[in-house]
Structure 1
Amino acid sequence: MHHLNVALIVFACVFCSALLGLYLRTRLPEHHLSDDSIGVVKLATGLIATMAALVLGLLISSAKSSFDTVNAEVTHEAANVILLDRVLARYGPETQEIRGLLKQTVTTGLQQVASGDPSQLARMHSPEALKRGEYLERKLEELSPQNDLQRRLQARAIAMTDNAVAVRELGLLQATGSTPTPLLITLVLWLCIIFGAFGLFTPPNATVTIALLLGALSTSGAIFLILEMNTPLDGLVTVSLSPMREALDVLGQ
């Protein structure tokens, strides 16, 4: 809801700037609305609009890239977990306890992510979460392979566990990305100037007001999507957890 509140504040600022421009048009002396004055202001507004469009486009592209990366890493993690479980199954019945521990770890992580609770997500960065991964790896190292095949499977399982932990931590780090506050404030300021200019040089009527309202909604909606995609593990726009749920269904079989 935090991102929705930010989007509503942006909408209020931008639309109020447009209404202020409509009001000022009725109060300014006529010579302030001459063709020369309007021409200069339009040039300045066009420059600001170009910068705002570039920044907005870059932010959307960056947020989408971050979202897609985390989504791909969830799928990669699910595939790694399934392969690790199968490698342990091939090793022999000695790994039954480790397979149960793996399934428990995946279940706990999936519940924390699916909850969407910031406090639960924060626990995924806790020392306890890291210790669970280290304990799983230590149990793998304690295995006593009896032949070359088991030695190869043990080494492969340890390497896959290292990779799974690394991918998980990378995904968590990328999932906590945020839009720089100064950049966001600057962008909103530019949008306010642009919409204020729209209102200033447009005769007020219902059609103009509705158009400005829709424009303000569109820009605030874009900022909402940027903020949501920068935090793909919580909020209204989240990555799909279906691969992890499907992986959980086949673990231990």
Structure 2
Amino acid sequence: MNHLVTAAIVFACVLGSGLLGLYLRERLPAHHLSDDSIGVVKLATGLIATMAALVLGLLISSAKSSFDTANGELVQNAATVIQLDRVLAKYGPETQEIRASLKRNYAGAIQILASGDAAQLAKLNSSETINRSEDFERRVDELAPSNDTQRGLKARALQLVDQVSAARWLALLQAKGSIPTPLLIVLVAWLSIIFGTFGLFTLRNGTVVAAMVLCALSTSGAIFLIQEMSTPLSGTVRVSVAPMRDTLARLDE
């Protein structure tokens, strides 16, 4: 489901619960709103609020960690590609075509990542892309070194190719992260209970309604950011491809 749609549903559920609480307050018998009743409900709501705050904090921390990991892998991958290009350049002029192929493949990957489109990102896992990567590795492996220096450079190049491939698969695996649906449902239910309690023990006025709207926006915004950071390669909030563009400009020099 689209992250904006999910955030809109969360906003509607949370704010609707608050408004429902305001509505019920005016229709409940007076003894339901006694000090003893309010005290018990506040204690129960405090427990739910604590659990909701812990879950939100853990989700934000996990999403931020995933985002930072993907960003770090992207930067490391860009540095590895530069190293690979320089190793191939040192090998000799016979790697010129391989270096040109590396630049073309890398430019295509940047174009896909820059789109931020899940359908485009799926191409990175297509059989065509996999075959192209394997063909590149095969061409490096087929190099015929004529001295010890070239043999060392070939071994180093193959090692760097493996590192680039591993980083690519890691990035693709991280691109599909999201909040588990059951956890999201439970979290929204907790938040709805909390907001419903706010409305239940508050007199209805414009200030209260405005405060509920702002709090509901903040809550749904937090859910939106968590989901966006959990999918660092797509969506509105995604990792920057600037390091990759800088690497592309340095290739085949």
The question of 1:161 aligning with 2:161 is answered yes
| 1:200 aligned residue | 200
Q: For residues 161-206 of structure 1, what are the alpha-carbon distances to aligned partners after superposition, in whole Å with 9 as ceiling and x for unaligned?
A: 0011001101110121111000001000000000000000011111
Structure 1, unaligned runs of 5 or more: none
Q: What are the residue-to-residue correspondences of 1:95-114 with 2, within 5 Å?
A: 95-114=95-114
**TM-fit CA distance, 1:67:** 0.2
**TM-fit CA distance, 1:127:** 2.0
Q: What are the residue-to-residue correspondences of 1:5-16 with 2, within 5 Å?
A: 5-16=5-16
Maintained 8 Å contact 2:84/2:161: yes
| 1:150 aligned residue | 150
| 1:117 aligned residue | 117
Letter in 2 for 1:40: V
Letter in 2 for 1:128: E
| 1:52 aligned residue | 52
Q: CA RMSD in A?
A: 0.9
Letter in 2 for 1:147: N
Determine the C-alpha separation between the residues in 2 that align with 1:39 and 1:218. Answer: 27
Q: Which runs of 4+ in 1 moved over 2 A?
A: none
Deviates more, 1:112-121 or 1:137-146: 112-121
Letter in 1 for 2:52: A
3-state DSSP of counterpart to 2:235:
coil
| 1:237 aligned residue | 237
| 1:133 aligned residue | 133
| 2:61 aligned residue | 61
Letter in 1 for 2:166: A
Determine the C-alpha separation between the residues in 1 that align with 2:128 and 2:34. Answer: 68
Determine the C-alpha separation between the residues in 1 that align with 2:80 and 2:155. Answer: 15
| 1:190 aligned residue | 190
The question of 1:74 aligning with 2:74 is answered yes
TM-score under structure 1 length normalisation: 0.98
Deviates more, 1:178-187 or 1:122-131: 122-131
Letter in 1 for 2:162: D
Maintained 8 Å contact 1:66/1:175: no
Letter in 2 for 1:32: H
| 2:3 aligned residue | 3
**TM-fit CA distance, 1:149:** 0.4
Letter in 2 for 1:19: L
| 1:170 aligned residue | 170
Letter in 2 for 1:197: T
3-state DSSP of counterpart to 1:211:
helix
Structure 2, unaligned runs of 5 or more: none
Maintained 8 Å contact 1:73/1:167: yes
**TM-fit CA distance, 1:160:** 0.4
